[in-house]
Structure formats: C-alpha cells, structure tokens
C-alpha cells in the first residue's frame, strides 16, 4: 500500500477547513487523477500527501510510514522518496536549468556532492536526458528567468523525473503548458510511473486529460470526495454536478468541448 488516508481533515490557521474527512487508499503503482473546481482542496490534499502539511485530524500513511510519528531522520528519508511537481515551479529565477533539475536529488546526495555540483554540475547527462523527455533539452544551460511559463513548468517536471521518487505527486503540472504539450507531459509522467512501478497522484484542471490518462479518477468538492471511480464509470451528470458552482461545463484543455477533441483523446463511452 502506497497511501492510506483515514478520515483526514485539514483546517488552516484562519479556520478554513480545506480537507474535510477524506478516506481512501492507493496501492503501489496506481495512477490516480484528482479533479474538482478551484478551492475544492486539491492542493491541500496533495500537500498533506507530500508531508508538507500536517493533518489536523485523521490517520495518514505514506509509503508505509506515518510521517508524523517517525523521527526527523526517517522523515527526511521519507520526504526524499516523494517528488512533488508544483503548479508554480518553486525555482529561483536566476538559477540555471541544469542546476534546477539536478536539485531533484538533493535529498539523496550527501551535502558535499550537493555543494560540489554548484561549482560544476555533477550529472549534466542525466539532467539533459530528463529535459529531453520534456522536449526542452536545448535549454540545459539557460537561466530559468529566460524561459516561458510552460517551459519552466516542464523544468519542474524534469526535476521530479530526475529525482526518481517512489511517489510522484503533481499539482496541476500543465496549467501553463499548451494543450498538445500537456498531453505529452502528462503522458511522460504516466510512462515514468508505469516503467518504474511507482505511484502517481496528479491533480488536473483539464478533465479530458484526467479521463484519458488515468485508470482511476477522484472528484473532490468542498474538501470531500465526491466520487472515486474508473473513467468509464464517470458520467457527464457527475462531472456537471462536480463543477456546478464554477461553470456550465467541465473544464477541458483550452475549453474545447469534449466532442472537438482529437481522435485518441476522446473519452471512453459513458455507462449510466
């Protein structure tokens, strides 16, 4: 078992309850998409799984350990096995792309190697390979503030690919990437998870990407799980209900209606 949440709640300091009693289990190697309107608690949920936030209540198990019951060395080791792709890549603008990608292994490298890598990059080939999978290998020695939003987001993904974590979490990893490339990036994350047999949990804004790439989709609304189903069993009515407060239809890439999508990215048939 890779993740187990048992009645997890999270209340922020200002009293806002972002996650309200979520229970679910995710097996090793499972690929799960989280969808839901903005403010539904997707980011909070991912941060709880990333052990970056401590749940206010409930029991949490990540990669076989309760992160809030183990000592600091064990927690650090656990964190180094979790890779998080942030929606806004937390990369210093003045940093070079190669350094930003290599930073993925800081949790595994000894301190001397981390520091030596600032003097001369420790693994140029490794960084280049991951950037190649994101189709930005030519940006290897570019500074991050010279990249577009979409390119920077893909650097963030390349960093996590380079980290080779046992649990990949992504928080809207393609919100700034154009539709064709989004498909490529989400596909690459799925291929990575399948090839290494690791767990992937991705929150996605574009519902079509979630339904196409993930065997299991969790709909989240006001901090609670609305449904937890394989894509074939998710009906249009369920999606309309999920996004009822936000917009007339479920969001897709570039807000194209489902029918207008390229062949192969079409949803599977819907059973009621």
Partner 1 sequence: MAYQASALQVRDPAALPRLVLTILVLALFWPGFSLTEFDLTALFDTRSRETMGKFVSTFFPLETSPGFLQLVARSTLETLAIATAGTVLAMLLAAPFALAITRSLSISRIGPGRGYWLGRILRLPARFAVMFFRSIPEIVWALLFVRAVGLGPAAGVLAIGVTYGGMLGKVYSEILESNDTRPAAALLETGSGRMAAFFYGLWPVALPELVSYTVYRWECAVRASVIMGFVGAGGLGLQMELSMRMLNGGEVSTILLVFLLLVMLADAVSAILRKVTA
Residues that bind partner 1 (CB under 8 A): 50-54, 67-72, 74-84, 86, 88, 90-95, 99, 103-104, 106-109, 111, 114-115, 118, 163, 165, 244-245
Q: How far is the CB of 75 from partner 1 (least distance, A)?
A: 4
Q: How far is the CB of 238 from partner 1 (least distance, A)?
A: 18
| Nearer residue to partner 1 within complex by CB, 54 or 268 | 54
| Nearer residue to partner 1 within complex by CB, 99 or 203 | 99
Query: Can you tell me which residue has the tokens 């749940």?
Result: 55
8 Å CB contact between 221 and 53: no
8 Å CB contact between 3 and 61: yes
| Nearer residue to partner 1 within complex by CB, 86 or 216 | 86
Cα–Cα distances (Å) from 269 to 29, 168, 201, 205, 207, in that order, read 25, 29, 24, 21, 15
Q: How far is the CB of 74 from partner 1 (least distance, A)?
A: 7
The rounded distance, in Å, linking the Cα atoms of 236 and 245 is: 15
Rounded to the nearest 10°, the torsion over CA 35, 26, 231, 214 is 80
Q: How far is the CB of 88 from partner 1 (least distance, A)?
A: 8
Q: How far is the CB of 246 from partner 1 (least distance, A)?
A: 8
In sequence order, what are the residues at sequence separation of 6 or more whose Cβ sits closer than 8 angstroms to the Cβ of residue 16?
none
Rounded to the nearest 10°, the torsion over CA 166, 173, 73, 6 is -80
Q: How far is the CB of 28 from partner 1 (least distance, A)?
A: 19
The CB-based long-range contact list for 64-67 (8 Å cut-off, 24+ gap) reads 64/1
Residue 64's region, left for phi above 0, alpha for psi from -120 to 50, else beta, is: left
| Nearer residue to partner 1 within complex by CB, 10 or 212 | 10
8 Å CB contact between 32 and 201: yes
| Nearer residue to partner 1 within complex by CB, 202 or 210 | 202
| Nearer residue to partner 1 within complex by CB, 90 or 215 | 90
């Amino acid at each position: 078992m890779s993740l187990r949440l048992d009645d997890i709640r999270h209340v922020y300091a200002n009293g806002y309850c972002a996650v309200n009693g979520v229970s679910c289990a995710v097996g090793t190697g499972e690929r799960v998409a989280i969808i839901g309107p903005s403010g539904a608690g997707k980011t909070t949920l991912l941060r709880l799984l990333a052990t970056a936030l401590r749940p206010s209540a409930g029991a949490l198990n990540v990669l076989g350990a309760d992160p809030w019951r183990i000592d600091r060395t064990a927690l650090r080791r656990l964190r180094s096995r979790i890779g998080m792709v942030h929606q806004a890549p937390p990369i210093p603008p003045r940093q070079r792309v190669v350094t930003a990608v290599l930073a993925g292994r800081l949790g595994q490298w000894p301190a001397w190697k981390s520091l030596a890598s600032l003097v001369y990059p420790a693994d140029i080939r490794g960084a280049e390979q991951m950037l190649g999978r994101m189709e930005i290998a030519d940006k290897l020695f570019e500074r991050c503030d010279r990249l577009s939003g979409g390119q920077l987001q893909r650097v963030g993904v390349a960093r996590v690919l380079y980290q080779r974590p046992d649990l990949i979490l992504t928080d809207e990893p393609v919100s700034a990437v154009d539709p064709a490339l989004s498909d490529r990036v989400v596909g690459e994350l799925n291929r990575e998870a399948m090839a290494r047999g690791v767990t992937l949990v991705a929150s996605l804004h574009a519902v079509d990407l979630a339904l196409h790439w993930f065997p299991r989709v969790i709909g989240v609304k006001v901090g609670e799980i609305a449904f937890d189903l394989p894509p074939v069993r998710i009906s249009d009515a369920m999606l309309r209900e999920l996004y009822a407060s936000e917009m007339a239809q479920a969001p897709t890439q570039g807000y194209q209606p489902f029918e207008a999508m390229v062949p192969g990215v079409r949803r599977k048939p819907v059973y009621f």
